[in-house]
Amino acid sequence: MFDYTNILNLHEFQIECSEGRYNIPIIKTEKFIPDKLIDFCHSLRSTQFSSGVHFFLDDYRFERIWRLPWRYIPHLRNFDVVLSPDFSLYTDMPQAMKIWNVYRSRLLGQMMQRAGCRVIPTVSWAYVDSFDYCFEGIIHGSVVAVSTVGTMYSKECRKIFLRGFETMIEKLNPDKIIVYGKVPDELKSGNYEIISFSNTSMAWKYGHRGVSYKEKQ
């Protein structure tokens, strides 16, 4: 008989470690800040374990970690810290898909923590109607990670990102914020600490091998 619980990772869900209307899994607070980040795909071939691993990539490049988490989590445990997977919340997605992607990100982060990884939750959002669930599963005062890649292409995209960022500050009051990609001017004067890392999605052109270094403040 087909075991759907494995495909959905239902056996990993613990209701007592979730919150909210949609039972979003909770990721415990982690304060460690890496000096450099390496993307998930490069991490699979890397021994630069004094790095953090990020998932700011096209979803198809890391969907496999949802399908076969225990093939990859033991390797990720070697690294200093892991940012939880950044499953996309596109504005034109049905609401159910956006909720599912928030759930998957938090559950994988929780699974990594139980396996011994340091994990920093990645936060993403869409329109205002996503604010009811997209910040759940993250403890107030945590270190969080966000990406600005692809959010500044138009006035509308920029507005959506800045509105969500402001709401994240109000709801989570994060201790520190890791920003992957260019930091918008609007974020540079806030009452919070930003640690920025450059976008290395084109790293192959420059020989960086997917490694992004913490930028000087």
CATH label of the domain that carries residue 203: 3.20.20
Query: In the structure, what pLDDT confidence band is assigned to residue 57 with cuts at 50, 70 and 90?
Result: very high
| Predicted confidence (pLDDT) at residue 91 exceeds the cutoff of 80 | yes
Each as own residue / partner, the long-range contacts of residues 92-98 (CB below 8 Å, 24 or more positions apart, any chain) are 93/126, 95/129, 95/130, 98/126, 98/130, 98/133, 98/134
199 falls within a domain: yes
DSSP assigned state of 138: B
CA–CA dist 115, 10 (Å, integer): 17
186 falls within a domain: yes
Amino acid 207: pLDDT? 43
| Predicted confidence (pLDDT) at residue 214 exceeds the cutoff of 80 | no
Please give the tally of structural domains in the chain.
Answer: 1
Structural domain that includes position 121? 36-213
189 vs 212, higher pLDDT? 189
Amino acid 3: pLDDT? 62
123 falls within a domain: yes
101 three-class SS: helix
21 falls within a domain: no
| Predicted confidence (pLDDT) at residue 202 exceeds the cutoff of 60 | no
Say which amino acid occupies 132. Answer: D
84 three-class SS: coil
Amino acid 206: pLDDT? 40
64 falls within a domain: yes
18 falls within a domain: no
8 falls within a domain: no
16 falls within a domain: no
